Structure 1
Amino acid sequence: MNKLRILGAALLVMIASQSFGQAQFALGVKGGLNFAKFDANDAGGSIKNKTGFHGGAFALIKLTKIGIQPELIYSQQGSKLKLNGQDLESNFSYVNIPVMLKFYLIAGLNLQVGPQFGFLAGAKSDGYDVAAQQFYKDRDVKSLYKKSDVTVGLGAGWDLPFGLTVDARYNLGLSKIDDDAAAAAAKNQVFQLSLGYKLIKFGK
């Protein structure tokens, strides 16, 4: 019995050693374009994408075919809206913390899924002032919106040689971003294209 236990323990050590021998830890930076808009049930106009950028840092813990990649990202979001012939724009900025689970296929190609927790850093918007009966531009509206946001990220990526990474990700808002119960149930929708580079890398 003792010999069986010793043999079993030795096998577990060998498997663990082989797995960790193929593990990778990396730290890097990434950035790219955002194509963002609000998903609103009743916006009263035509909603269009707004182009912005995102940038920040990531860490990757990869074990064989599965990786976990937490990130810290500054993200320009918002939306465009055409209302009564007027082109209006909302410029929001978030500090986002995605935690992506990466499933590796072949040659560095991977599929990604995971939650993202966002914190509102700033919010300015064009709109219509009912009391003054006129449109306004670039008004600070941060106090009207929730300070946090929850989304789910879905995407695909490619870990290239020499530390380069390419990602395409769609972040679908799960929570309403405004505090006004009477307002349209607006949620964030953001499509991202990213280019990254692993500054520090250990393992395969």
Structure 2
Amino acid sequence: MNKRYSLIAALMLILCYPATAQENAPQAPSPNQSFTSVKIGPSLTTIALKDGPWQGAQLGGHAGIYYLTMQSDKVGVQVEAQYSFQGAELERGHLLLHYLNVPVTAKVFVAPNVSLQGGAYAGLLLDQRYEYEAIDSRPQMEGKDYCLVYGLSFGNESKATFSLRHHIGLVDIIGAKNQVFQLSVGYCVSKK
């Protein structure tokens, strides 16, 4: 599984290099600037059992909108609303989870086109289903989820960005906690 994460990180670096190499003099966002962007991308999701191993990873996805406001030339606050398809491959089937997540993260720009992210989010479970062979069931699960989030972003906030994030679940949703790795492409639709 670690090979997958390394592959995703390497792919993101390769994809981001041409986008940043085309700009002669990259500039960091200025204080008081704000950006509204849409984002979409794949997710690798699973659940971590209490005192046990992670369950099988499942491919998911996410899409949403975010608003970044710069507090200084190095620090910004990003608020998002996103739909996230999560779950896990279990020994006897698939757990499918649909969430509405609201992450709030701080972005620290370590270079003009590179930022580190950290924060938290609250999630609302919209739907859940457990599929086993031809049987569908709806398990009783915790309807709310809270997670810590960290990651990094590459790109020009006023144009396009690529980010990789890890969400660490804090809530026991069904004897386990969510674990999500997201690869995102963001596109700025408004800059002020």
* Matches of 1:149 and 1:167, distance apart in 2: 22
Identity among equivalent positions (%) equals: 30
Q: Tell me if the contact between 1:46 and 1:81 (Cα under 8 Å) persists in the aligned partners.
A: no
Greater C-alpha Rg:
1
Evaluate the alpha carbon distance shift between residue 126 and residue 69 of structure 1 in structure 2; reply closer, same or farther with a 3 A threshold: same
Deviation of 1:163 after TM superposition, in Å, equals: 1.0
Task: List alignment gaps of at least 5 residues for structure 2.
Answer: 1-29
After superposition, give the CA deviation of every residue in 1:143-191 in whole Å (9 maximum; x if it has no partner).
x11110000001000132751011100000011113xxxxxx3000000
TM-score, length of structure 1 as denominator length: 0.74
| Number of residue pairs aligned between Structure 1 and Structure 2 | 163
Tell me which residue corresponds to 1:132.
Answer: none
RMSD: 2.1
Note closer, same or farther for the CA distance 1:123–1:161 as it changes in structure 2 (3 Å cut): closer
Aligned to 1:24: 33
**Residues 98 and 128 of structure 2 are in contact (CA less than 8 Å); yes or no, is this contact kept in structure 1?**
yes
Distance in 1 (CA, whole Å) between partners of 2:122 and 2:190 is 25
For residue 91 of structure 1, what is the aligned residue in structure 2? 96
1:195 to 176, 185, 188: 185
Distance in 2 (CA, whole Å) between partners of 1:201 and 1:188 is 34
**1:28-177 equivalent positions in 2, closer than 5 A:** 28-41=37-50, 47-62=55-70, 63-82=72-91, 87-126=92-131, 137-141=135-139, 144-160=140-156, 163-177=159-173
- CA separation of 1:188 and 1:46: change in aligned 2, threshold 3 A: closer
Q: Which runs of 4+ in 1 moved over 6 A?
A: none
- Per the alignment, in what secondary structure is the counterpart of residue 96 of structure 1? strand
Structure 1 gaps, min length 5: 1-20, 128-134, 179-184
SS of residue matched to 2:142? coil
Matched AA of 1:195: V
Return the alpha-carbon distance in structure 1 between the equivalents of residues 135 and 121 of structure 2. 30
Question: Aligned residue for 1:8?
Answer: none
TM-score by length of 2: 0.78
